[in-house]
Structure 1
Amino acid sequence: MPTASPAQVPGTQTLDRTFALLRAIAAAGEAGASLDELCAQLGGTTSTTYRLLQALRQQGFVRPGVERGRHVLGYELFALGAQAGNPGGLRDLARPALLRLAECFGDSFFLLVPDGHAVLCLERQGGKQPVRSYSEAVGGRIPMGVGQGSQVLLAHLGRRDCRDILRHNAATLRLDYGLDAELIAASLPSVRRLGYACGLPDRRLPGYTGLAVPIVDGAGQVLGALSCALSRPRMTAARRQALAEAMMGEVVQIVGSPSGGVVAGG
């Protein structure tokens, strides 16, 4: 029996508008978005957009902003996101590890997970040293292939998945970051051999580097990565070795927790 395309499924258009509305409100940040701004941005009628906003408010997905007449994301999204962003308890297990690493080295550390053609930041712990990073905050996404976190994740994905992802992202990597997808692919055997990745230089953040180690399950499926970011002058050979050993050690502790279910990759 043939399946209907998304456009043919009853209610799909309303769902698409609702999701677009939530993304537009999210993009407005703390200031929020007004009804007129949302209508102008999304192209819907005032009455339809108003009804969707009211429905989202009733469900807790949207709430009034500080300024009258403006709308911001509701706390229900945070509650759902906290559950979605903790697969197998990984976020809870990684949080104390990130804190210990940041206190020890003074750098910023992240928990990253693969999310389709992107890498998503599930947790972040800032260090004493100022740093810029691609994932500026929890929930931030970057194209797979950018930075040491995505490099180590790609190295532990299946060859077909890795090839498809890099092919899909090739134009973005080249135009936005000055990265060559073929060079990224060529670096992955070395990453698998070493057990960690240091990323490839790009035009966005040329003054920064980092190191990432993988977290994979017993079947070899990659679950995420611990990653750090620091300025290039701070990444000496000795520091690279110390970071790799400490981060791999933290992954071993995550693996050995009562929640279990994950093992260190390398």
Structure 2
Amino acid sequence: MGSVIDAFQFVYAPQIINGLSIGVAVVLMALGLTIIFGLLDVINMAHGEFYALGAYVGITLLALGVGFWVALVLVPLIMAPLGYMTERLFIQRVFHQRDRHMLTLLLTFGLAIVLEDVYKLIFGPQPYSVDMPIGGGSEIMGVFFPNYRLFMMAIGVLIIALVWLVVYKTRLGAMVRAAAFDKNMASSLGVPVSVVYAGTFAFGVALAGLAGIMLAPIYSVFPTMGKDFILMAFSVVIVGGLGSIKGALIAGLFLTQIQALSSLYISPSWSDPLVFAIMVLVLMVRPQGLFGRLGHA
């Protein structure tokens, strides 16, 4: 019995905490991605680059002397207007076209390429590191947990809960869900659909930027970082169900735990293929994902 407890404390528990801390950041990205799809029916291929932009905005603020905690608040506030302008200037131009799914996919894919090159031009190809804002660790039930990862889990859970409350328990959320369910009916009832669309896109971009600054102290900040993380976010959205907030939460925590725990038994290079294999399996058994669209809890 003692060997089992020791194995959990020193082998499995650290991986579980690692998976949970990364999982909440993945869920923040996936939430923005799935809300944008659930409302606008747009697959935002540039979402990973907005995640990277949040990290770059964060390190720029830190270089200007702004503290990390202030930067953590400022980054999503800066990212939201950028997301709003992106929807107004680009997405809206092709949104009402007959082939809008293909056009928006190609548009956001092209935007992702441009943004990545802009990052290389402005910041260079070299990675940047961010000092850990909270040092040390805490011992809980005999297990040592890094304090910053505990903070990430706590703030991530709080943000996810607030998003759920706003979407499903407020008048604003009812307007968003109404526009997602039937935009013509919502418009006839006085809902400013175009503003809701742009605001929702901006909110999704802000969540991606927040995930970027939150993960900056753990991972290096570099121009192609969005490509690495967006694959996991898309897997989460597909497994959970396109447009489902509950699906993004459950699938995000599940897949990151699979990735963390599998690294104990297989090479870390195989953790991503394992996640993609689960995604393919879910698509084969349940093509719509585990849960429904935005209009459902």
Shorter chain as denominator, the TM-score bin is: under 0.3
Higher relative contact order (CA 8 A, sep 6+): 2
> Which has the larger share of strand?
1
Q: TM-score, normalised by structure 2?
A: 0.25
> Which has the larger share of helix?
2
Q: Which structure has the larger Rg?
A: 1
